[in-house]
Structures are given as C-alpha cells and as structure tokens.
C-alpha cells in the first residue's frame, strides 16, 4: 500500500505545475457558494426543522409510541449535516455554531455529563431556547440527540412512556429545536450576508474564500482518515475501539463517511469548474475512487474494525483515504493556484 501511495503521489507531482489558464477567483468563489454551500445549508435547515416537528408530534402521542418517525427524521438530519460538516468557512464558524451542531469526537465524557446535567436540573426554563443556548455545547447537537434516541435506557423510556420519558422528551425537543434554529441561522446568514459579500468581493477576498474552502476540504479528508477510521481501528485488532466511530449508536458511521466523500467530490468540482484541467481531473478522480471504496465498505464500521474477517476492509478504506488525501493535497492547490493554510487539526 505504501508503494501505491508513493506511486500515486509521484503521478500527482508530475501532473502538478503551472495552470494552463488563470483562475477566476471571483467566479470560483461564487460558484462554490451558490452550487455547493448554500444548497446544502438550506437542505440542513429543512431537515432539522422537520426533525424538530417530529419530536414535537412524537411527545404529544400517548405511550406506547412508535420511534420510527424519530429515527427517520434523525437519519435525514444527520445525513444533511454529513454533506456539509467539514466546511468551517462562513457563518457556521461564528458564535460556536459548528460546535453546537455536533460535539464529536467526544472528550472527557462531555456529552454524558452535559445530558446528565440537563436531565437532573429541576428548573423548567433551562430548556427554553434562550437558556438552552447557554448550556454546554456538548449537550446541544446531533451527537447528544443520538444518545437520547438510540441508547437502550432512554429509548426504552421514550417508547413506553415510563421512567424518565417526560424529561427525555423535553430534552430531546430542546436539542432538536436548537439544531433547527442554528441551521436556520446559518442558511439565512449565507443568503443575506456571505453570498452578497462574495458577489461584491475583490479578487483578494475571493481568493481567500477559495483558499478557505480548499483547506476545509483537505481537513475533511484528514478527519476521515485519522478520526473516523484510524481511531476505531486502533493499532491492532486487540486495541480496536468500535465506540470511537462516529454515530455508532445509530449505525451511521460508514454512511456518514460515504456522504462526506460524495460532498468532498462536489466541493472540488465546484471549486474547479469546467473543464477542471489536468490537476483538477486528478483530484476529482482520486476522490471518486475512494468514494467508490467507501460505498462497498461494511455498514457497521465499528463492529467491522474489531472483526478479524472484516477488519481488512476498514484498513483498505483508511489507506485509500490517506492516498486520496495525499493526491488531492498535491494537485488541488496547484490547480487553483493557491497555498492552503493551517487547519483545525494541525498541531494536535
């Protein structure tokens, strides 16, 4: 595999070089905003709003309750987030919005502590929209909502109406409402502020936007490789940690990576435009190839990482992501005539 990576990197180096055409940064930034970012944030706002309505309807129904509608709404919202989660540029990076959308990977049991606090506090107004935004971000996002919906104890209570069902409903509704509010804020800010700013941006600001999008794409591939795949794999099967995979409770770890890679390809295509040039085509081919491998990977990533028969498939996917990341890092910045900066994982 090291030889494959080295060979592909060598090919990428040969293809890299001065672009045959000057990059129109204003056009590239606007195209990426209009065709990639804004549609995905609007889809996220719609999915999280639908999820909030599903929680409201569910909690009004007498027990025993059917959880299928909540499961479907969660899947749609988590899927919409997966298609834009690696982007930090723009309104999502302001006011801790990104952190409020999803707290992952979890550190020092932060989500459990935040949820325990929300479940135990007697005052009702702690779950009001104004007060809830001031609580720990670990208890506000998709990761926290997954825990309420898919952990055995809370799931059983929600279905039966017994135990802490009423409080779980109140907390679940608060989280779902907060996700919808944050998603709506981001979509509205893109429409009313960020997009108009890019429309009126000079070349330097447009180039900065293209650089930020590109850096986010490369960071997204790094997150998949190091956090979503290497972490649950461990150094050996004896040290595999299935519960480090993202959204493992809802069984969405592999699907999330598939959606991440599909969106990475769409982002690269938007940045490059048509025709993409030789370097750009190399970038698109590398992402498309690893996305194809992800589509054939085991559905339950965490379990497969600890399974002697299926572990190799997860290792193959991890190595393919590493190879694609190296190729994209060598070919995309030259194609766009930019130099990428540091990302949120540098120095960790």
Give the pTM.
0.91
Q: DSSP string spanning 191-253?
A: IIIIHHHHHT--HHHHHHHHHHHHHHHHHHHHHIIIIIIIHHH-SSGGG--GGGSTTTTTT-H
Residue pair 146/247 in contact (Cβ under 8 Å)? The answer is yes
Residue 198 pLDDT level (bands cut at 50, 70, 90) = very high
pLDDT at residue 11 above 60? Answer: no
| Residue 153 CA: distances (Å) to CA of 109, 112, 114, 159, 303 | 18, 13, 17, 10, 21
Is 16 a residue whose pLDDT tops 90? no
End-to-end CA distance of the chain: 25
More confident residue, 343 or 263: 263
pLDDT of residue 8: 47
The pLDDT value recorded for residue 121 is: 83
Confidence band of 345 (pLDDT split at 50, 70, 90)? low
> What tokens were used for 114?
């935040």
| Angle (deg, nearest 10), helices 142-150 and 68-82 | 150
Residue 87 burial by Cβ neighbours in a 10 Å radius (0-12, 13-18, 19+): buried
Domains and their CATH numbers in the chain: 2-336 (1.20.1420.20)
* pLDDT average, residue stretch 228-244: 97
């Amino acid at each position: 595999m090291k030889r494959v990576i080295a060979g592909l990197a060598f090919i990428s180096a040969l293809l890299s070089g001065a672009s045959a055409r000057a990059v129109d940064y204003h056009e590239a930034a606007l195209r990426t905003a209009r065709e990639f970012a804004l549609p995905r944030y609007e889809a996220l706002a719609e999915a999280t709003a639908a999820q909030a309505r599903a929680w409201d309807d569910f909690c009004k129904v007498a027990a025993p309750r059917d959880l299928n509608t909540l499961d479907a709404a969660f899947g749609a919202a988590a899927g919409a987030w997966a298609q834009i989660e690696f982007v930090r540029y723009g309104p999502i990076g302001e006011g801790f919005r990104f952190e409020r959308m999803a707290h992952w990977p979890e550190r020092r049991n932060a989500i459990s502590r935040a949820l325990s606090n929300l479940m135990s506090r007697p005052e009702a107004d702690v779950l009001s929209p104004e007060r809830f935004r001031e609580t720990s971000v670990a208890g506000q996002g998709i990761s926290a909502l997954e825990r309420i919906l898919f952990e055995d104890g809370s799931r059983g209570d929600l279905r039966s109406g017994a135990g802490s069902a009423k409080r779980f409903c109140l907390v679940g509704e608060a989280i779902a409402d907060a996700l919808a509010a944050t998603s709506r804020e981001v979509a509205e800010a893109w429409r009313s502020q960020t997009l108009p700013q890019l429309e009126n941006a000079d070349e330097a600001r447009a180039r900065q936007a293209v650089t930020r999008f590109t850096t986010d794409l490369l960071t997204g591939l790094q997150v998949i490789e190091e956090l979503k795949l290497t972490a649950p794999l461990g150094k050996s099967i004896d040290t595999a940690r299935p519960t480090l995979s993202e959204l493992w409770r809802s069984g969405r770890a592999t699907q999330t990576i598939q959606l991440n890679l599909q969106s990475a390809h769409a982002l690269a295509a938007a940045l490059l435009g048509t025709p993409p040039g030789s370097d750009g085509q190399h970038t698109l081919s590398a992402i498309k190839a690893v996305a194809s491998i992800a589509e054939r990977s085991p559905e339950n990533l965490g379990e497969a990482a600890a399974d002697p028969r299926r572990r190799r498939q997860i290792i193959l996917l991890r190595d393919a992501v590493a190879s694609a990341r190296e190729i994209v890092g060598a070919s995309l910045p030259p194609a766009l005539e930019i130099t990428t900066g540091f990302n949120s994982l540098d120095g960790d």
